[in-house]
Amino acid sequence: REYHNPEDRRFHAQPNACWRCGPQVWLEAVDGTRLAERDAAIVEAVNRLAAGAILAIKGLGGFHLAVLATDEPAVSHLRSRKVREEKPFAVMFSNLDAILKYCRADPAEMDLLRSRARPIVLLERHHQNSEGVSLAPGIAPHNRRLGALLPYSPLHTLLFAHDRFQALVMTSGNRSDEPIMTDNQESRERLRDIADAFLLHDRDIYLRCDDSVFRTIDQKPKPIRRARGFTPTPVFLRKSFPVVLAVGPELKNTVCLLRGHEAFVSQHIGDLENQETLRSFEQTIEHLQKILHVKPQLIAHDLHPDYLATQWALQQSDLPRIAVQHHHAHIASVYAEHRLSGPVLGLALDGTGYGDDGTVWGGEILQVSEDGWKRLGHLRQVPLPGGDVAAREPWRMAISYLWSLSPDDMEAQFGDLLARWPAERWRVLVQILRKELHSPLTSSCGRLFDAVAALAGIRDVNVYEGQAAIELEQLLEPCSGQYEGDLTVVNGLLLVDPLPMVTQAIADVRTGVRPGWISTRFHRALVQLFADAMAKLAGSTGLNRILLSGGVFQNAYLTEHLESRLHQSGFEVYSHLELPPNDACISLGQAFVAGHQWLRHSRN
């Protein structure tokens, strides 16, 4: 009866697990020596973790690197060996009660933690639990939130069953910037300099799949990384499409296959910046085609010619290829998720995307429909000194905004602010700006966050993507007042101008206003500025539906308050439900746009 009941955990799972002929587990030293097998392997692994060892543990979709979460020296060793300076680690807790000793969780967050998918959930944390035991400070430095998850495999449950600890750091088993390891031999070779021992089993991992990551915004679950537990569940579409393969962006890459009314968005693949990740990208495409029994009729890709995904798509010369602008894809992905029709307004806020005018976009207001799109407005453009380097060094964006405010006498106007950075560095940057060398124009909202964070003294250099913006959000605290931006029309486009906001933030910096107050006033101003911009364009276009997408909408304050303001003004507001707002949604948008183009051409 259990085998035939879809609600039973044994549905279509008739084999009984046998300790003799079922999956085998063993503990192995870095030199390949077997240290223990079966139950003894679990006991010895627990003993070593409790003593501060770093273990590489083979899971369901790949390896984890595990270490005792209350052991600061062990966490520090893991950071050093993995070359991961400050990016937060996730922590697996033995049960929900253990999580609540260290973190706050509202009902929506607890539902996520206990859900069948068992994602990592970003929670507000206590610095010390009721028993006076702290998690290692090095787990998530400069971060008020902690990525927490519960055990989701029998092996995890066994590790906690001995009651030696309640929390383990569980970070992806890979070297920095490489895909998560899946193969025993590959892991032995590539993780031997990080792990002290390997807890292995003999079940092959067919396809790598990272842990999913969620946070709640306005009591609603919002994916940050969609992978284990959620893929390849399809997004259901309003129309039936041909088989379209979309290869996604460079950062946070996913791929998407359209098949009829279904869009299959892959698990998180990673940043396509090296050959190892490119191989994972190719394996994922092959896997999706195999399990869906389809071959693509066309390929969609980003406009950027240097992306590895774009180059791969252009090499597939036997198929038609369609380029889709990055921010158009962002808005189209929300459009597809909500099965909309007709024209809408879209607000796409992120770090970077190749514009159709050759500049770097990232603060875009678009009009989008099934038939196409057009740009209606954008953030004021400023130079991006050093190109992509500016995304890693927020101080460069601070200089760019200071220069934009006063290009002729920047040193005279802002000498007190410039004094915080070495003169030889910012003077070189100013020369680059004056000569317009390697300084493309950008309308990026993400770079605006970086500039304000650097001016407020929060962070000059990002150790991981988006760090300055994350820390700026986390410093939010109650205060009075807000800054003011400006809206003007230039060459037929609405110019959303944050320069007055930056000027007011500088005044606060000079008078010693707390960084948390600067953050709050900046966030309030941004909400007001974009709410006013959308209302102005809604009035001129007659459109009442507004779609929000882009990595900046991972910011809970901005998302909650902007959605609320727009709702209060009578607009229908749509944001992502199933996909992350960051670049992981791009592949769906690409596929959706390309599919519509194909259908239009087929009719003609």
User: If you average pLDDT over residues 486-506, what whole number do you get?
Assistant: 98
Here the tokens at position 467 are 């760090």
Measured in whole angstroms, the distance separating CA 599 from the mean position of its chain's CA atoms is 32
In CATH terms, is domain 16-213 a member of 3.90.870.40?
A: yes
Nearest alpha carbon to residue 129 among 113, 115, 146? 146
Q: Kindly report, residue by residue over 316-359, the tens digit of the pLDDT.
A: 999 999 999 999 999 999 999 999 999 999 999 999 999 999 99
pLDDT recorded at residue 158:
96
Pairwise CA distance, residues 105 & 219, whole Å: 11
Kindly indicate the confidence band of residue 15, based on its pLDDT and cuts at 50, 70 and 90. Answer: low
Give the whole-number percent of the chain exceeding pLDDT 70.
97
Q: How confident is the model at residue 286 (pLDDT cuts 50, 70, 90)?
A: very high
In percent, how much of the chain has pLDDT > 90? 92
Q: What is the pLDDT of residue 7?
A: 81
Q: 18 pLDDT band (50/70/90 cuts)?
A: low
Q: What is the pLDDT of the chain when averaged over all its residues?
A: 95
CATH hierarchy code of domain 378-574: 3.30.420.40
- Between the alpha carbon of residue 236 and those of residues 58, 275, 592, the distances in Å are 33, 32, 12
Structural element, H or E, at residue 321: strand 321-324
Cα 329 to Cα 146, 304, 347, 507, distances in angstroms: 31, 13, 12, 38
Residue 174 has pLDDT above 90, yes or no: yes
pLDDT at 138 over 90: yes
Is the CB of residue 231 less than 8 Å from the CB of residue 209?
A: yes
Mean pLDDT of 528-550: 98
Q: What is the pLDDT of residues 437-451, one digit of tens each?
A: 999 999 999 999 999
**Separation of CA 37 from chain center:** 38
pLDDT of res. 486: 98
pLDDT tens, residue by residue, 411-438: 999 999 999 999 999 999 999 999 999 9
Q: Taking the CA atoms of the chain, what radius of gyration do you get in angstroms?
A: 25
Q: What pLDDT is recorded for position 9?
A: 72
pLDDT at residue 5, as a whole number: 84
Tokens of 523: 């966030």
Residue 299 φ/ψ, nearest 5 degrees: -125, 135
pLDDT digits (tens, 9 = 90+) for 512-522: 999 999 999 99
Q: Band the pLDDT of 247: cuts 50, 70, 90.
A: very high
* pLDDT at 6 (0 to 100): 82
How far is it, in rounded angstroms, from Cα 448 to Cα 529?
14
Answer for the pair 328, 410: CB distance below 8 angstroms, yes or no. no
Q: pLDDT band for position 178 (50/70/90)?
A: confident
Q: Where are the beta strands (DSSP E) in 49-161?
A: 55-58, 63-68, 90-93, 103-104, 120-125, 145-149
Q: How would you classify residue 239: left for phi > 0, otherwise alpha for psi between -120 and 50, otherwise beta?
A: beta
Confidence (pLDDT) at 331: 99
Listed residue (78, 71, 73) closest to 57, CA to CA: 78
Q: Strands 220-225 and 321-324, how do they pair?
A: unpaired
What H or E segment, with its residue span, contains residue 534?
Answer: helix 515-541
**For residues 511 and 415, what is the distance between their CA atoms, to the nearest angstrom?**
15
The pLDDT value recorded for residue 476 is 97
Q: Where are the beta strands (DSSP E) in 380-476?
A: 382-383, 441-442
531 has a pLDDT exceeding 70: yes
User: What integer pLDDT is reported at residue 130 of this predicted model?
Assistant: 61
Q: Are 326 and 302 in contact (CB under 8 A)?
A: yes
> The dihedral of CA 266, 267, 269, 271: what is its sign?
positive
Mean pLDDT along residues 168-186 = 93
Domain range annotation of the chain: 16-213, 378-574
Q: What's the pLDDT at 266?
A: 98
Q: Is the pLDDT at 4 greater than 90, yes or no?
A: no
Look up tokens 């875009």; give the residue: 364
Count of CB atoms situated within 10 Å of the CB of 86: 14
> Residue 532 half-sphere exposure, CB side, CA atoms within 13 Å?
16
Compute the average pLDDT of residues 95-117. Answer: 95
User: Would you place residue 175 in the very low, low, confident or very high pLDDT band (cuts 50, 70, 90)?
Assistant: confident
